[in-house]
Chains A and B, each alone.
Chain A
Amino acid sequence: EPEVTQTPSHQVTQMGQEVILRCVPISNHLYFYWYRQILGQKVEFLVSFYNNEISEKSEIFDDQFSVERPDGSNFTLKIRSTKLEDSAMYFCASRGDRYPTDTQYFGPGTRLTVL
């Protein structure tokens, strides 16, 4: 069964460093998402991406964040200068174009720890 994959599973970085989180969405999906979950809190939407551009972003997704689909398979989230409060699980999700294939499927997540 197709699945969303994410790498790395765990990333440790120093405050102020740049990190890139990688995702491989389900093949032939067209919509891509990033969510995050701070420990003990709700899963929060960050950004959605379609047709090579951001279609919606939350207030969390400020200028320190960017997303890219550099090739036909990867979808990345970059945090330019990490802060302690960026420590969280980051989940990538993807979905197809129309019902019933427009259910979002999530990857296993990347745990980001900022020291």
Chain B
Amino acid sequence: DAKTTQPPSMDCAEGRAANLPCNHSTISGNEYVYWYRQIHSQGPQYIIHGLKNNETNEMASLIITEDRKSSTLILPHATLRDTAVYYCIVRVTGTGANSKLTFGKGITLSVRP
């Protein structure tokens, strides 16, 4: 799976949008971009994923650049409960056993009141 690069930390004000960047310049054509987050020591929580089109769900939006070498996770109205470590992971989807997730250090988002 391609490697991802994320800044170590960022903060934003409560109620504002949080834009979390991720670089994945070696991504392959069949690799999807996944975002998970981990609040304190809880289990990683799936947020969203995409291939090349922008995606939106009830939690967040995912913007993937046209060349697919980078993406941005957007939390439209951050709350204090969104304070967590956010992981950007690329992997091939579909059937097959080689589907483990490789976690990096992620980006620590701190939402301030």
Contacts and interface: CB of A to CB of B under 8 A. Distances in A.
Nearest to B97: A55
B58 to A, nearest CB: 12
Given A91-B43, A107-B43, A45 B97 contact: no
B94 to A, nearest CB: 5
Interface string B87-110: 100000111011111111100000
Interface stretch (B18-26, B34-42, B66-74, B75-83): B34-42
A31 B93 CA distance: 13
Interface in A11-67: 31, 33, 35, 37, 39, 42-45, 48, 50, 55-56
Interface residues of A, number: 31
Contacts of A43: 38, 44, 87, 101, 103
Contacts of A44: 103
A42 B99 contact: no
Contacts of B38: 43
Interface of A: 4, 31, 33, 35, 37, 39, 42-45, 48, 50, 55-56, 89, 91, 93, 95, 97-100, 102-109, 111
29 contacts: A31-B97, A31-B99, A42-B104, A42-B105, A43-B44, A43-B87, A44-B103, A45-B100, A45-B101, A48-B97, A48-B100, A56-B98, A89-B41, A95-B99, A98-B95, A99-B93, A100-B93, A102-B93, A103-B34, A103-B46, A104-B46, A104-B99, A106-B36, A106-B43, A106-B45, A106-B46, A107-B43, A109-B41, A109-B42
